[in-house]
């Protein structure tokens, strides 16, 4: 995995954030099992609640292109160590039980986690009997 590329893409995507209300920009880049990278930024709304986080923007782009497995996702925001919110952790879980989550401050400063560390005892697709 080209971790540095994923990190750079997350940093670049933050520049595209549409965050006029919070003024808090977030960027994400994810790697799928097919080897492709999809990026996303947060997209806010005047009505506030329709806001979508950067991680879920990237996931929606990937899944709508036919991807089903997240191998790794890098996330960066306007504060030090911006971690994925709880909703995004659950959406990552759907497509990446074993995903690596890279929390990025800069190209050279980042921390890596397993999703299962950030979302222990999680609920996922396998838990439904259908
Ligand atoms: N935000 C994300 O994009 N990802 C997260 O995991 C945390 C929060 C965005 C949503 C909103 O546009 C702004 O950050 C402030 O909450």
Q: For residue range 52-103, what is the model confidence (pLDDT) as tens digits?
A: 999 999 999 999 999 999 999 999 999 999 999 999 999 999 999 999 999 9
- List all residues whose CB is within 6 A of at least one atom of ligand 1: 19, 22, 24, 26, 42, 44, 51, 53-55, 84-85, 88
Kindly state the greatest CA–CA separation across the chain.
44
pTM of the model: 0.97
Termini Cα distance of the chain: 33
| pLDDT category of residue 39 using cuts at 50, 70 and 90 | very high
Determine which helix (DSSP H) or strand (DSSP E) holds 129, and give its type and residue range: none
Report, as residue numbers or ranges, the catalytic residues.
55
How many angstroms is it from 117 CA to the middle of ligand 1? Answer: 20
* Angstrom distances, CA of residue 31 to CA of 103, 116, 118, 122: 14, 17, 18, 21
Q: Is the pLDDT of residue 130 over 90?
A: no
How many angstroms is it from 130 CA to the middle of ligand 1? Answer: 33
Q: What is the pLDDT of residues 65-78, one digit of tens each?
A: 999 999 999 999 99
């Amino acid at each position: 995995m080209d971790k540095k590329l994923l990190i750079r893409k997350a940093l670049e995507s933050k520049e595209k954030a549409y965050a006029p209300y919070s003024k808090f920009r977030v960027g994400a880049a994810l790697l799928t099992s097919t080897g492709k990278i999809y990026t996303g930024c947060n997209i806010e709304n005047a009505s506030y609640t329709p806001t979508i986080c950067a991680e879920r923007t990237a996931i929606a782009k990937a899944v709508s292109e036919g991807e089903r497995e997240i191998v790794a996702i890098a996330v960066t925001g306007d504060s030090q160590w911006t971690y994925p919110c709880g909703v995004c952790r659950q959406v990552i879980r759907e497509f990446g039980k074993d995903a690596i989550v890279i929390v990025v401050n800069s190209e050279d400063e980042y921390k890596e986690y397993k999703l299962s560390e950030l979302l222990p005892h999680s609920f996922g697709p396998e838990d439904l009997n259908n």
